[in-house]
Structures are given as C-alpha cells and as structure tokens.
C-alpha cells in the first residue's frame, strides 16, 4: 500500500493514521518533495477512475495563476501542470494494487483495507 502524503494536511495525517491503526505500514510518498511523473499521474487517475480535472485542487494559487479553469485545456496539459506544480494534486491518494482512493474523507481508505 502507498500513500501520496502531505504531513501538513490534516486529511492526509488522518488517512495515514487509519492505515497504521489497521496494522499496515504503507510506503509514504511525500509527493511535494518527490513529485510524480506524468506517467505516474496517468496511472493514478486510471486507478482512481477520475479525470485530471477532478484531481485538481481548485483553491490553489497555481490553479488561478495558470487559468486552469479553462475548459479547453486537455487532460495531458492538466497533468503537465500537476507535474510542474504538485501542490495542485488533491491529497491524500492511497493505492493498493490496481485500485486507489482519495482520502477525502479519510474514511474512504477503508475500502482498501
């Protein structure tokens, strides 16, 4: 099991705690320090069953500064912005095998335990 984690985020901390309380030591990926590649993000989107737009944090300054609300931007363009500005990636993402969930709310992770 892997968690794309931001220790400053309460939802991310709570999700990690649920996993650890279930007796699982996940691989913790501090994605702000080691951003996922475009291929990694595409893989996560497939496992989540989401589009790139669904995974964007719309309240971030980088979202507004880059006009990411523009509907003409392609999936690949949005993914490139997430690679360049990993803060744009909604968190936490928990992966187990070929499935993933977004820990919003943290209880979503129960589906993978």
Q: Does a cis peptide bond (omega within 30 degrees of 0) precede residue 92?
A: yes
Q: Are residues 94 and 6 in contact, defined by beta-carbon separation less than 8 angstroms?
A: no
Give the total residue count for the chain. Answer: 113
**What domain range is 18 assigned to?**
2-112
pLDDT number for residue 83:
97
Q: How far is CA 74 from the centre of its chain?
A: 19
Burial class of residue 70 in the structure, from the number of CB atoms within 10 Å of its CB (0-12 exposed, 13-18 middle, 19+ buried)? exposed
What total of structural domains would you count in the chain? Answer: 1
Catalytic residues, by residue number, are 9
Give kind and range of the element (H or E) at residue 96. strand 93-96
What six digits make up the tokens of 104?
């919003």
pLDDT number for residue 41:
98
Which of 100, 5, 107 is CA-nearest to residue 43? Answer: 100
Q: Which residues of the chain have pLDDT under 70?
A: none
Q: What's the CATH number where 51 sits? A: 3.40.30.10
pLDDT number for residue 54:
97
pLDDT number for residue 68:
98
Mean pLDDT, all residues of the chain: 97
**What is the pTM (predicted TM-score) of this model?**
0.95
């Amino acid at each position: 099991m892997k968690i794309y984690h931001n220790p400053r985020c309460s939802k991310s901390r709570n999700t990690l705690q649920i996993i650890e309380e279930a007796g699982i030591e996940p691989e913790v990926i501090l994605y702000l320090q080691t951003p996922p590649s475009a291929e990694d993000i595409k893989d996560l989107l497939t496992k989540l069953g989401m589009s790139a737009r669904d995974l964007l944090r719309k309240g971030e300054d980088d979202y507004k500064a880059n006009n990411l609300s523009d509907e003409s931007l392609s999936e690949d363009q949005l993914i490139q912005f997430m690679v360049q500005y990993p803060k744009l990636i909604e968190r936490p993402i928990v992966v187990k095998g070929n499935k993933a969930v977004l820990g919003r709310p943290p209880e979503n992770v129960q589906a993978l335990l």
